[in-house]
Amino acid sequence: MNYLPIFIEIKQRPCLVVGGGDIAYRKINLLLKAHGQVTCVAKSCCKNITKLVNDNKIIFIEKSFELSDVKGQVLIVSATGNASLNKQVSELASQNNVPVNVVDSPDLCTFIMPSIVDRSPIVIAISSAGKSPVLARLIRAKLESTLPHTYGKLAELAGDFRDKVKAKFNNIEDRRYFWEKAFSGIIAEKVFSGKVSEAKVDLQAQLDSTTKAQVGEVYLVGGGPGDPDLLTFRALRLMQQADVVLYDRLVSEGVMELVRRDAQLIYVGKECDNHAVPQGDINQLLVDLAKQGRRVCRLKGGDPFIFGRGGEEIETLAENGIPFQVVPGITAASGCSTYSGIPLTHRDYSQSCRFVTGHLKDGSMNLPWHELALEQQTIVFYMALNGARHLSKQLITHGMRVDMPVALVEKGTTPEQKVYTTTLKGLPDLVENEIIHAPTLIIIGEVVKLREKLNWFDVKSASYKK
């Protein structure tokens, strides 16, 4: 190693920053986050530093740097942009055995300012030894995306119980096993969900060995419209820790690739008139698996609360006392319209948007057509491909213009996306003459006209106009 990674406590201790520009301001903020007592020395300073001075957060001395400024400091940062001054600061600090960092000059540093992932009291520092700060920041960004911001609360909880666990288990291996179970189970999830008080009770119960068989938890997760990059951080985390995953046919292969490798996968997809597993059986299966102590991910395409029957499933969980959490996903209407270059609302074309299911519970398509056949609104039909002819006829009958623009988005947000554009009158012929596969979304409204101008995602060969 070129540098020994260590953490220095600077709380209420004197730190010096030489320089008064924007870079110095960023370094000052970093020192303030660690509760250092910061003095800034420079001939002038930027507005941001002036504000810190006016807020009594730092001391600013308007003068040139000199040897006396080094005395009594626990660390020094030089951020002047003046090479000779930076070298002087480095030499004087080193002569007086004060750690010094000179911005963008590794050869003048005795310590490096790393890229930081802050989940206090958990802090992760990434350094490239000054070789490539940009690479270090990219690594930090990857870690930021996988670590919940509530990890710090989990560490605080562990700190509160550390002495109790140490008194309970004399063997270090037993203590390690206890904490590994706590950190990877429902207790951790309760902390991540903001239920810290419940997590404390559960942790104490586990420590007292008074708990009955542990009940698992169900994660109702929205997998988005297809592109795995559209998953939320929480969705990805829960998918990768679930013991069992129940998934439907609208979950893309790319999203399924991100599921925990050794998880049990159970397909419960539905198609029109072909339900692999009836909804009632799915509801009960979630309950049964959770009662076995399993962590169960119910993975759905789009958003579980928008035509995803998520409400029905968690009703059953609530009735049976099963802990659950719901993770929203980007619904198909938002994802597919965006990837097609069709804004759902626009001041010149549409002041409202309606999401409509084309397949009711009783199998009919009995919709409030007179409310849908209005100008200046966008209608997005889910699960309406088979009923396209009927919806075209009904909207025209109830007063919608025959030349109203229509778009069909097949497998939206994925590399297989295809977009067909037509008019309300031409919709039945398009569906009859083209081989269009589910999942396909139907968008109706003047906003469809904007596709030719705003389209950014489609490969040319995947775009059609009929």
Our answer to whether residue 243 is catalytic in this structure is no
> CB of 165 within 8 A of CB of 207?
yes
C-alpha distance from residue 69 to each of 26, 49, 86, 371 (Å)? 20, 19, 14, 75
Rg (CA), the chain: 30
Contacts for 65 with CB less than 8 Å, ≥ 6 apart: 18, 41, 42, 85, 88, 89
- Which single residue is written with the structure tokens 């994925």? 414
Structure tokens at 363: 């199998």
> CB of 228 within 8 A of CB of 252?
yes
Among 153, 227, 248, 411, the active-site one is: 248
Q: Which residues are annotated as a binding site for S-adenosyl-L-methionine?
A: 225, 301-303, 306, 331-332, 383, 412
Among 270, 291, 393, 466, the active-site one is: 270
Q: Which residues are annotated as a binding site for NAD(+)?
A: 22-23, 43-44
- Which single residue is written with the structure tokens 């097949």? 410
Nearest to 386 by CA among 432, 337, 445, 419: 432
Structure tokens at 235: 């969705």
Q: Which residues are annotated as a binding site?
A: 22-23, 43-44, 225, 301-303, 306, 331-332, 383, 412
Nearest to 395 by CA among 426, 372, 429: 372
Report angle CA 193, 199, 205 to the nearest 5 degrees: 155
Our answer to whether residue 270 is catalytic in this structure is yes
Catalytic residues: 248, 270
